[in-house]
Amino acid sequence: MKRVSLNAERREVTTKGDTNKIRREGKIPAVVYGKITETFYVAVNYKDFAKIEHEVGRSAIFDLNVEGKTYPSIIKEIQIDPIKRNIIHIDFEAVDLSKPVYMTIPLTFVGEAIGVKKGGILDPSLHEIEVEGLLTDLPDKVEVDVSNLDIKDVIYVKDLNLGDKVKIYSDPDAVVVSVVTPTTEEVVAPASTEAQSVAQPTEAKAETKTESSKEGAKEK
């Protein structure tokens, strides 16, 4: 897993007004917690974090530099504003790099499946897997090569190989990705023009006969 450095400044006030002020200053309010440290609050520069996120993603070891001390951490949660879609809060977990951790790792699919070339559809069922291992041994993401998948072929969790240092906790029989046959909808053909033209005169005759019967009844 990639390791990056991120400066953070400690903050003591945690009121709503304080966090709003931090955001207006171009920073992200955050909290740091874990077994190796007491919980404390920090703020990180929004642009600095966005640059790291763009370059390496969120699955990384963040060396948080706070008041001259470094806290190796991982992201446990990111809160997004539902309207503006910007980051409004981050939860960092400080970790001991000498001990294994449990976390989820994203899956990415590479290659063009044989079945897709034949008209099939690539159908991913999982987008992340649960793993455990030392952070320095865990990958940032797991690349799943789908090139050899034909129509109806499947890749299961048990087919993934992350090496002996990483333990996978996801169900081994869970489907990761498959290539499925495209479904076709049955189209109901409209009634023919000839059939419609036959039906219309019959209804007209019936109406004429009914009207004539009514007129005859009136005359009598």
| CATH classification of the domain holding 152 | 2.170.120.20
Is 34 a member of any domain?
A: yes
Is 191 a member of any domain?
A: no
Strands 87-94 and 69-80: antiparallel
Alpha helices in 27-147 (DSSP H): 46-56, 114-117
Q: Are residues 90 and 20 in the same domain?
A: yes
Is 23 a member of any domain?
A: yes
Q: Are residues 13 and 68 in the same domain?
A: yes
Residue type, 147: S
Q: Are residues 7 and 90 in the same domain?
A: yes
CATH number, residue 51: 2.40.240.10
Q: What was the pLDDT predicted at 58?
A: 87
Higher pLDDT, 45 or 207: 45
Is 43 a member of any domain?
A: yes
Domain span at residue 33?
3-96
**Is the pLDDT confidence value at 18 over 90?**
no
Q: Are residues 126 and 41 in the same domain?
A: no
Domain count, the chain: 2
Confidence category of residue 82, pLDDT binned at 50, 70, 90 = very high
Dihedral (Cα; 175, 99, 61, 36), 10-degree rounding: 130
Q: What was the pLDDT predicted at 183?
A: 73
Is 75 a member of any domain?
A: yes
Single pTM value for the model:
0.70
Taking the C-alpha atoms of residue 27 and residue 45, their distance in angstroms, rounded to an integer, is: 4
Per residue in 157-214, pLDDT (tens digit) is 999 999 999 999 999 999 999 999 987 655 555 555 554 544 454 444 444 444 444 4
Structure tokens at 194: 């000839």
